[in-house]
Amino acid sequence: MSPSLMATDITVSSEDFPTIFERETCTHKGFCPVPCLQSHGSDPYKTHMLYYEQHGTGPTHVVFVNGLNTTLFAWNYQLKALVDRDGGEEYSVLVFDNRGVGYSGYPAGRYTTSAMAEDVITLLDFVGWTGKCELHLVGTSFGGMIAQEVASRIPHRIASLVLAVTTAGARYSWNNLPPVCP
C-alpha cells in the first residue's frame, strides 16, 4: 500500500455521519482508504473508502465483521456490553461498514470474500492493530466467511476467532463433508 494513502485519514465530525453508539466512548471515527490494483483502465489504483468507528481504549482489541448487507450498527448490543460497562477501559472495539454497505464506498467489480478480507486487513493496519496475537475477530453470516479468510491470511495476529451462523464455503458444506475414515 502506498505510504501516502496510509497517511490519508479522512476524519469526520460526529455531525457528518449519525451514529447510534455512545459518542463518549468513540475514540476514532472516519474513513480508511483501500487501494485496489486494477488490471485495466486509466488509473491502475482504484481506491474506495471503508467507514469505521473505534470505541474504547482498552488493551483487548475486538473486531466485528458484519454479515451480508448489514451496517456496523448491527453490533450495537455487543459494543455496549463491551465498552459501555466500564467506560471502555478493558476493550477497544472496531466496527465498520463493509464495501458497498452503509457509509462505505461502492467500488466497481465483483465483491469476493478474498477482496473483502483484504479490506479488513487494510483497516486493521490503518488503525495500527498489527501486534502479535492481539485481535479477537468476530464474524457472523457472510462476515464469518470474511473473518475466516482474514484469520487464514494473518494467523499470527489472531488471539481468537468467533464465528456464528456461517460456513467455510460450498466446498466444505455440511452435505459434502469427507468421510471420517477413508
Strands 45-55 and 158-164: unpaired
Strands 91-96 and 60-65: parallel
Domain ranges of the chain: 3-167
pLDDT of residue 34 exceeding 60: yes
Of 102, 91, 105, nearest to 66 by C-alpha is: 102
Enter the pTM of the model. 0.82
Of 179, 124, 181, nearest to 151 by C-alpha is: 124
Round the CA-based radius of gyration of the chain to a whole number and report it.
Answer: 17
Q: Average pLDDT in the 150-155 region?
A: 94
Average of per-residue pLDDT values in the chain: 82
Class of the domain covering 3-167: alpha beta
d(CA 109, CA 65): 21
pLDDT at res. 36: 72
109-138 residue pLDDT tens: 778 899 999 999 999 999 999 999 999 999
Side-chain-side CA neighbours of 13 within 13 Å: the count stands at 2
pLDDT of residue 2 exceeding 90: no
State the distance between the two ends of the chain, measured CA to CA, in whole angstroms. Answer: 45
The distance from CA 133 to its chain's CA centroid, rounded to whole angstroms, is 17
70 touches 61 (CB < 8 A): no
pLDDT at res. 9: 45
* Residue 87 φ/ψ region, left for φ over 0, alpha for ψ in the -120 to 50 degree band, beta for the rest: left
162-175 residue pLDDT tens: 999 988 766 554 44
